[in-house]
Structure formats: structure tokens, C-alpha cells
Amino acid sequence: MASHAQGPERALGFLCSIGAVSTSFRLTPRSIRYYEECGLIAPVRDGRNRRMFDQRARARLQLIATLRRSGLSIQEIEQVLRREGEGRDAQVAVALEKLADQRAALEAICENIDAAIAQLGAHAGIDFAAQRDPGLRPGFSSLRR
């Protein structure tokens, strides 16, 4: 019986199971199946209908995992992946733009948290600003107890 996973790629060991890519990219099998359901990846199927991941699917999964860990949504990742046909530089440029937007949003949240800490501290008569750890990045503070 012929299957999609037969041929030189399989013979040379280029196809990986869902378990192998799950371990490699620190993703759960459920997450990988979800990415497939969303159309972000398209694994091939072997003769027993098991998902097998070729080089392209693994590269996409690695990018997806990196962007998800950075807080990008599935929709944002889909926008990045859609640029694949325009070349790696175009795809990276969109990813970097999305990551810069994500960073700006997180920095704004940190500023709001710092303001809330200062406001609540002032209400309680505590100067939290004096307790800020100067070794941390701007916008991030460590409160000493």
C-alpha cells in the first residue's frame, strides 16, 4: 500500500512523528493538532494515518512555537506564515513588526502596573519606588518585603 510518507524523505529519516516534534519544540501533541486544525501546518500522513512532519512542517512549527511563547495570537502568526511565499526576509520582517508591537503592549502594561503600585503604595503610606531593584530593566520592578 502506497502512502504519502513513503519515498526518499522517509527512507532518509526526514519525517518525524508528532511525539518527536512535540519533544523537540516543547509543544503538547494537542497544541500541534490545534495548529493543524487552524491550517498553520500540514503534516503528511503515513500508511497508518499517523501525522508525520517533514522539514517544512517542522520549520513552521518551530516558528509557531517561538511566536506563541512571545505572546502572539494565532491570527498574528497566520499573518506571518502567509508571507512565506514572499521569501524569508519578508516573513521575518512581519514577525519582527508583530513582536515589536507585542513588546510595546507589554511595556505599557508594565507602566500601568508601576503606576498602580505607586498609587496603592501612596495610599498605604509606603514608598515602593525606593524599593525598586535598579538592576532590572526599565518598567520592571521587584518589591522587597
The domain locations on the chain are 1-60
Could you please state the CATH topology (level 3) that the domain comprising 1-60 is classified under: Multidrug-efflux Transporter Regulator; Chain: A; Domain 2 (1.10.1660)
Query: Does residue 1 carry a pLDDT above 50?
Result: no
Q: SS3 string of the chain?
A: CCCCCCCHHHHCCCCEEHHHHHHHHCCCHHHHHHHHHCCCCCCEECCCCCEEECHHHHHHHHHHHHHHHCCCCHHHHHHHHHHHHHCHHHHHHHHHHHHHHHHHHHHHHHHHHHHHHHHHHHHHCCCHHHHCCCCCCCCCCCCCC
| pTM, 2 dp | 0.73
More confident residue, 12 or 77: 77
Mean pLDDT, rounded, for 8-23: 74
